[in-house]
Structure 1
């Protein structure tokens, strides 16, 4: 069995939202699993010197045009949320906690969080909203709420973000395939070919 694809994403990333709809069918074509790894772009930007696309002249305007176009192309529900962008530490921690219990539940929750923000306009940066999404999915929101305050989970999430940066993750979505990095949802076709050909 080939190694899983590591999928790094920030819940405030609209391109990560698109990738969350496309990565698993691509992985299945190559008989690979996907490890969903939430990260936080803020610390990565401090290292790279970058800043959110929405704050950048010209690039921000392009993004606001491009993301709805991509979603129309792939039939993905989308509406610009307000506020945007937001801090997403609460749902990121939640995914790591759920992953230890049941990776399938973690993925289901991650998809629901993305949908809540980019299709339903709910502020998932608010821990109460992140917990409500869990409850809506039939998950144990009470236990999750207690876990979000656990210093060990906070430390684990911080360590995961720092490790991602050490691996070279600087944006969302970002993929590692057998340690080969691919940044951006537009790299999925290239990644598909890379796996099919065994690299080049």
Structure 2
């Protein structure tokens, strides 16, 4: 099997959510695996000078329209959350704890549950009382996960992971790196597939 694809995302990113519904199938078509990396865009924006799309004049209104249009185009369930965007530190740290204690496959299952809760059900994933039941639903002890997510070790790991991502040139969500080639945005998945197919673009 060829080198794994690195998939970076923020749980508050609609485009990151859309990508999360497609990346595994895309990678499998080319005998690839995927490494999922939760990020905090707010931290990265301190480096890039960026800001959440909805806060930007003109561009924000367009983005809100494009989220819904993109979801319809790709047949992806999507409902704009009432609280959007929101901080995702807890969700990101919880995923890292699940990966560390239960393995990557269970962490991906958890990540998909978080995305679905937020972008389909409109759940406020900033709340431990929301995140906890998502863990219970996939066979993970909620209390242990919340405690682990709030541990100094996991907080430090997330900080280090984000620093490492920025060092690789990651600045948005979704952001995919395949064989050293970076692709920013869900709208670059056609180019990503062409690259995986031919090894060049």
The farther-off stretch of 21-30 and 72-81 is 72-81
**Deviation of residue 140 (structure 1)?**
1.6
* Paired position in structure 2 for 1:188: 189
* Paired position in structure 2 for 1:54: 54
Taking the TM superposition and a 5 Å limit, the aligned residue runs for 1:82-121 are 82-100=82-100, 101-121=102-122
**Deviation of residue 43 (structure 1)?**
1.1
* Paired position in structure 2 for 1:26: 26
**Deviation of residue 9 (structure 1)?**
0.2
Q: Distance in 2 between matches of 1:10 and 1:149?
A: 18
RMSD of aligned Cα (Å): 1.0
* Paired position in structure 2 for 1:14: 14
**Deviation of residue 79 (structure 1)?**
0.7
**Deviation of residue 136 (structure 1)?**
2.3
Unaligned runs of 5+ in 2: none
Unaligned runs of 5+ in 1: none
TM-score normalized by structure 2? 0.96
**Deviation of residue 182 (structure 1)?**
0.4
TM-score normalized by structure 1? 0.97
**Deviation of residue 112 (structure 1)?**
0.5
Instruction: Tell whether 2:21 aligns with 1:40.
Output: no
Q: Distance in 1 between matches of 2:52 and 2:85?
A: 8
Q: Distance in 2 between matches of 1:188 and 1:12?
A: 19
Taking the TM superposition and a 5 Å limit, the aligned residue runs for 1:158-177 are 158-177=159-178
SS of aligned partner of 2:69? helix
**Deviation of residue 128 (structure 1)?**
2.5
Q: Which 4+ stretches in 1 moved above 2 angstroms?
A: none
